[in-house]
Amino acid sequence: MIVVLGLAAMIWWGGRLMQVTRPVRISLLTVLFSAVVILQLTLPDGAPLREATGGSASLWFILAGAGGLVAVYTMGLQHLRARAERAEGAQAASGAEAPPFSEVELNRYARHIVLREVGGLGQKRLKDASVLVIGAGGLGAPALQYLAAAGVGTVGVIDDDVVENANLQRQVIHRDRDIGTAKVFSAQAAMEAQNPFITVRPYNRRLSDDIAADLFSDFDLILDGSDNFATRYLANRVAVAQEKPLISGALSQWEGQISVFDPARGGPCYQCIFPEAPAPGLAPSCAEAGVIGPLPGVLGAMMAMEAVKQISGAGEVLRAQMLIYDGLYGETRRITLSARADCPICGQSRIVPASTGEN
């Protein structure tokens, strides 16, 4: 039997070294097996040649059966592998979507995904969303940081200012080495360093009438962290025209306020609540009146929170409500806001759809 197994090994491995094709080697092994079986079946018991080749045909049939099982199993694996490769090729050719999150992203957003109110669907909505932030200063800095960290897929930021030394007391997205750099580029660098899985689109210019409509059309949601009424009224006017939610914040000294203005879903617009800009001197800037450093962080983070809720569908956003925060005394209060029928921006075109349970 050892002689036969040695011959089989020589046929298989020796033939492989001599580059004999696989089908030829299998044919030679089949001939060897057939010859041994014929010897076992025709020679009498005790014959030297029969004893040298195993002494019994049943042993060879058992070996043949085991070899057949191994061959069938190998062929099955090859068939499954080939089918999987064909399926992958067909998927690639058809342009089918890859899984929404990589393993790194799943680990990064795990604390969101385990939240019942967000889950995988909510995180996917965040990844697919696009948010424009007006201003990369006091309110924009923390809002941009948390939108990036939360995994909002595309974040735009528009600002024409540069980083100054006086900004660093509160605009924590910027660093001392960024002084003199355009704020949008400083913010972009910080956001991309924090989360390489998002896209940041910087616009180093002031928001103006000639670009606002085209710019807003590229985004799902607008966050207004500007520091002047002209920009706030412009952002409100364009957001209302395009039926996009506008999350607006403002602050001074120790106090700030935020609200979600969304007439397309039944709320008032910014101009419903503030019909006219205050007279000069009645609303001093932060440079004139001062502002405590952490206050923009509190309000900017709240604006990012409203954006995350708006996009993911979690909870209740501050639509038709204004949240006022007093940092000096640690107090918050919320007031209800009402739309004005005579509002020149949204009064004649307000859309109030049936409730869908979504934000």
DSSP 132-170: EEE-SSTTHHHHHHHHHHHT-SEEEEE---B--GGGGGT
Is residue 51 domain-shared with residue 137, that is, in the same domain? no
**Is 109 in contact with 153 (CB distance < 8 Å)?**
no
Asked whether residue 358 carries a pLDDT value surpassing 50, the answer given is no
Asked whether residue 18 carries a pLDDT value surpassing 90, the answer given is no
For residue 359, is it within any domain? Answer: no
For residue 347, is it within any domain? Answer: no
Phi, psi of 250 (to 5 degrees): -150, 155
For residue 79, is it within any domain? Answer: yes
Structure-token pair, residue 98: 């890859």
Is residue 65 domain-shared with residue 144, that is, in the same domain? no
In the chain the beta strands, taken as DSSP E runs, fall at: 130-134, 154-158, 199-203, 221-224, 246-252, 255-261, 321-326, 331-336
Asked whether residue 86 carries a pLDDT value surpassing 50, the answer given is yes
Strands 130-134 and 221-224, how do they pair?
A: parallel
Is residue 138 domain-shared with residue 25, that is, in the same domain? no
* Most confident segment among 150-154, 275-279, 284-288: 150-154
CATH of the domain at 193: 3.40.50.720
Per-residue pLDDT tens for 191-241?
999 999 999 999 999 999 999 999 999 999 999 999 899 999 999 999 999
Nearest-angstrom CA–CA distance, 146 and 155:
11
Q: What is the pTM of this model?
A: 0.70
State the residue range of the domain holding 56: 2-94
For residue 73, is it within any domain? Answer: yes
Asked whether residue 353 carries a pLDDT value surpassing 50, the answer given is no
pLDDT value of position 357: 42
CA 296 centroid distance within chain: 26
Is residue 224 domain-shared with residue 288, that is, in the same domain? yes
The arithmetic mean of pLDDT across residues 76-86, rounded, is 64
For residue 178, is it within any domain? Answer: yes
For residue 236, is it within any domain? Answer: yes
pLDDT value of position 356: 38
The residue type found at 249 is: G
The residue type found at 212 is: A
- What residues pair up with 321 in beta bridges, in sequence order? 336
Task: Count Cβ atoms below 10 Å from residue 18 Cβ, excluding itself.
Answer: 8
The arithmetic mean of pLDDT across residues 94-107, rounded, is 77
pLDDT value of position 220: 96
pLDDT value of position 175: 96
Is residue 149 domain-shared with residue 79, that is, in the same domain? no
The count of domains in the chain is: 2
**Is 141 in contact with 190 (CB distance < 8 Å)?**
no
Nearest-angstrom CA–CA distance, 109 and 198:
13
3-state secondary structure of 79: helix
Strands 331-336 and 321-326, how do they pair?
A: antiparallel
Is residue 325 domain-shared with residue 177, that is, in the same domain? yes
Phi, psi of 200 (to 5 degrees): -110, 130
